[in-house]
Amino acid sequence: MTARSSLSLATLTAVLLGSIGCSSLMVSPAQAAEGGKIKTLLLVGGSIHDWKNIGNVVEEVLKKSGKFDVTRVDNDLNALLPDRIKPFKLVVFYWTVGKITDAQRDGLTNHIAEGNGLVTFHSGADSFRDDDKYRKFIGGYFTTHPHYRTYQVSITEVKHPITEGIQEFMTTDEQYILNYDKDNITILGNGLWKGNLMPALWVKEIGKGRLFYNSGGHDPKAVEQPMFQKLLIRGCLWAAGCEVKDK
């Protein structure tokens, strides 16, 4: 490729990503989808949860926003291998328990550290229970949960782009009780459990990349809630290095 063609490709990338407020410095030309949409891998699978129908709702929400070029993969962790994950600026991940190989895990963790984004929710903190490196990467892991119920989430970081303008909200979901690494995550919101604060939302910087975790999202009804979807879109834009806008 000549210097002239390289410049043209870089300029095109900046124009496309600029249309949705993304930093062209964080997005390679290969990751700039037509129309400036963020090339997104939606990977769902595992067991216990209704990942298929949860994936259906999340896929619809992402596509309806008009900001994401979504490629969905069901129940195939090989999608995380370096050659397959490379084209995607953003990974949205929902998986419960199961086993992950070192190559699959490293494909994900290295990709995010290189300057890409990961959004995971609920059982993203209950995946691959015997893999300590994955648990450390996410920033916390599931220990137990109370019964499915309505509870309040109080926002602690009201100026963060994901939670700006939100002070608190009620959600009907399965609250996860988590063992978490308080020194390496930034908690955006908490719920109460037995009188104690328990993280409900957090973000984490990983190398040049970003991670957003939402502990909610147990079933299709939970991910259909407007606030869950608002946080999903905001979290995806933030993780991808884009300007966070609701519209």
Residue pLDDT, tens place only, 97-153: 999 999 999 999 999 999 999 999 999 999 999 999 999 999 999 999 999 999 999
Nearest to 234 by CA among 212, 206, 210: 212
What phi and psi, each to the nearest 5 degrees, are found at residue 157?
A: -115, 80
Which phi and psi (to 5°) does residue 88 adopt? Answer: -100, 130
Q: pLDDT tens digit string along 16-59? A: 555 567 764 456 656 656 678 999 999 999 988 999 999 999 99
The per-residue pLDDT for 31 is 66
Task: Write the DSSP symbol of residue 204.
Answer: E
pTM of model > 0.85: yes
- Residue 11, pLDDT above cutoff 70: no
Q: Which amino acid is at 13?
A: T
- Per DSSP, 207 falls in state T
pLDDT at residue 164 above 80?
yes
Q: Which domains does the chain have, with CATH numbers?
A: 3-141+200-239 (3.40.50.880)
